[in-house]
Structure 1
Amino acid sequence: MRVSITKKISRFVGAVGSTLLFFAAQAVLADAVKIGYQTGIDPSKVALADGLYEKNSGQQIEWRRFDNGAEVIRALASGDIDIGNVGSTIVATAGARKLPISTFLIAAELGTSEALVVRKDAGINSPEDLLGKTIAVPFVSTSHYSLLAALKKWGIDSKKIKIINLRGSEIPAAWKRGDIHAAYVWEPALGVIKETGKVLVTSAELARQGLPTYDVWVVRNQFADKNTDFLKSFTKTTFEFFSTYKANPTPFAYDEDNLKKIGRITGAKANDISVLLAGNQYPSAEQQQEILSGVYIQAIADTASFLKEQGKLDTVAPDYSSYATTKFLGVQ
């Protein structure tokens, strides 16, 4: 049976319409900013939970949660995400590999939110007691750097300790099985192991000894060149929550809604979040302009040199100044 011209045209129009709808959907997806975040605790997680980054920028965002910075960097390098949340140690390694990324915002100067916790039944009462023990840590993370730096400060040969690479999400199970004696990690794993462990050292203590680490936001340079307004909106939203928290830290940290939102985004327990919020520093835009222009660049350069010395990096970048920018902070 012959199909009428009218029906043919109708089918053709329908097919074209479907195709246009498909490509329109693809365009919407392509326009969504892809952002990879981790489970560190900071006030801006409330903004993430409330969808304020989308509302304030007028931009669709596709949020992706990652277990560690190494996974985030791989996603950035492949173009799977545009912006990523990593530790400063990861930026040092990215610089050694000449990845085209820049740090544009500090999410936190790390303090008690990362720590080396030892089992109470492991007989570890001093750093020297770590000899011969098994310590878990996510490799090439801020926790890994802090662990190695602490051991060096204590004069302990890391080769005389079994240091194993586990994701943060894998550490609680290994802890419960008794496979490890200690772990250096962040939330939510930190809160779990602290229930039956004790803190030997925190990143706050190491920072006071000249070994600062940071939780930061980095962006692919190609994306940054074309999306100035979005990045400025992103930093502005973040600073608003930093300011709100610092103006009234106790009410913010113990507000039930805030705790639920941060817990939902990070997986951390409400009882731990209040303490962890107080354990980090959240620099203002003006403070970040100074940090990203000097202290931070020196910190990642020192980190890279240390990791090379430890045999964790083959090379270091001759200059790390290109791995930080202050142009999106909104400071005149």
Structure 2
Amino acid sequence: MAVCCAMLGASSAWAVDPSVKELRIGFQKSAINFAIVKQQKLYEKEFPNAKITWNEFPAGPHILEALAVGSLDIGVTGDTPPVYAQAAKKPLYYIAYEAAKPLASAILVPEGSTLTQLSQLKGKRIAVQKGSSAHYLLVQAVRKAGLKWTDIQPIWLSPADARAAFQKGAVDAWAIWDPYFASAQLEDQARILASGKGLSPNYTFYLASPDFVKKHPKAVKGIIQQINAADRWVQKNRVETAQLIGKSTGLKSNVSQTFIDRRPRPSGAAPLSPKVVADQQQLANRFSELKIIPGTIRIQQAVWTAK
């Protein structure tokens, strides 16, 4: 690993903002690039005067809550959690996104299920993490099927609890993202009723506390720079990345590999484009229409741009 780290270090300009004394990061098992940044200590090199702490969360809503109460400086989530947070008037900035990965989320049914099309979800119990990217996927799937949101029975469960319910047959379907998706597919022989293709772009977003950005605007560049350095390494070392992810998360190597293979190449971080903002606004509008979130919000108001 020393050679890899040296390679990354040689291609990066360290100490972009030496004033950063602390960087508290929220991540999930799905955060491949953050996993490599953490494993190769890229932020320790980028911010040599800072204490770097990594905090794992089961899903995006938990990260946004921690960000809102001042427990985190930056975090990574799917598309829906920041919409929920902004609607609740919680402070946040979108600082970057990763390319859409619609194939990395799905609505799953047990191997022996008789369900073969989305319209058959009417009246069914569907496990989903409330306020997660899978929540939006399910909203879009129900809409595509010509059903009303009230036609289904969402069962609000965390990924771990949802999987247990899915395995026991306590729910009819499960809306979920990778790596939980890959794990259920490979280990439980779960069948894909619908992927995110044509339903949800399934963006990954990097978010920051407004206080952190205000104090350390230059640091944002360094944060994004090292995410991209990590992604370049991932693209060149995909098998080794799967092994590293397996060790750090406890996932089997074939699950990690499936998860990695479903990500676009490259999957670095970039400032939000007008299309990404528009896609995210569509998500917010859909949730407003269904009264899932109160009132309406403007995504652009939460998008940070370098001065």
Shorter-chain TM-score above 0.5: yes
The one-letter amino acid of 2:301's match is S
Q: Which has the larger radius of gyration?
A: 1
The answer on 1:302 being equivalent to 2:293 is no
Whether 2:227 is the aligned partner of 1:227: answer no
Unaligned runs of 5+ in 2: 1-19
Q: Find the aligned partners of 1:254 and 1:112 in 2 and give their Cα distance.
A: 20
Q: CA deviation at 1:135?
A: 0.9
CA displacement at 1:146 relative to structure 2: 0.8
Verify: 1:94 aligned to 2:85, yes or no.
yes
- The aligned length equals 284
| CA RMSD in angstroms, aligned pairs only | 2.2
Structure 1 length-normalised TM: 0.79
Matched, 1:216 2:209: no
Contact 2:99 2:268 (C-alpha < 8 Å) held by counterparts:
no
Name 1:122's counterpart in structure 2: 113
Q: 2:103 matched to which residue of 1?
A: 112
Match of 1:143 in 2: 134
**Which of 233, 236, 248 lines up with 1:244 in the alignment?**
233
Q: Give the TM-score normalised by structure 2.
A: 0.85
Residue identity matched to 1:306:
R
- Which shows bigger deviation, 169-178 or 37-46? 37-46
Q: Does 1:186 align with 2:168?
A: no
Which residue matches 2:6? none
Q: Secondary structure at the match of 2:183?
A: helix
Moved more, 176-185 or 268-277: 268-277
Contact 2:179-2:259 within 8 A present in 1 as well: no
More helix by percentage: 1
Question: Partners in 2 of 1:72 and 1:95 — Cα distance?
Answer: 13
Deviation at 1:76, TM superposition (A): 1.0
TM-superposition CA deviations, 1:41-87 (whole Å, max 9, x none) = 53442222222222232232111111111111111111111111112
Indicate the SS of the match to 1:314: coil
Q: Is the 8 A contact 1:34 1:61 kept in 2?
A: yes
Q: Specify every segment of 5 or more residues in structure 1 that has no aligned partner in the other structure, as ranges.
A: 1-29
CA offset digits 1:220-276 (Å, max 9, x no partner): 111111123432222111111223344x4xxx2222xx2232123444331022222
Once residues 105 and 158 of structure 1 are traced to their aligned partners in structure 2, the CA distance between those partners, rounded to angstroms, is 31
Q: Percent identity, please.
A: 24
User: How far apart, CA to CA, are the structure 1 residues paired with 2:111 and 2:289?
Assistant: 32
Report the 3-state secondary structure (helix = DSSP H, G, I; strand = E; otherwise coil) of the residue aligned with 1:263.
Answer: helix
Secondary structure at the residue paired with 1:316? coil
Among 224, 232, 243, the alignment partner of 1:260 is 243
Per the alignment, residue 271 of structure 1 pairs with: 254
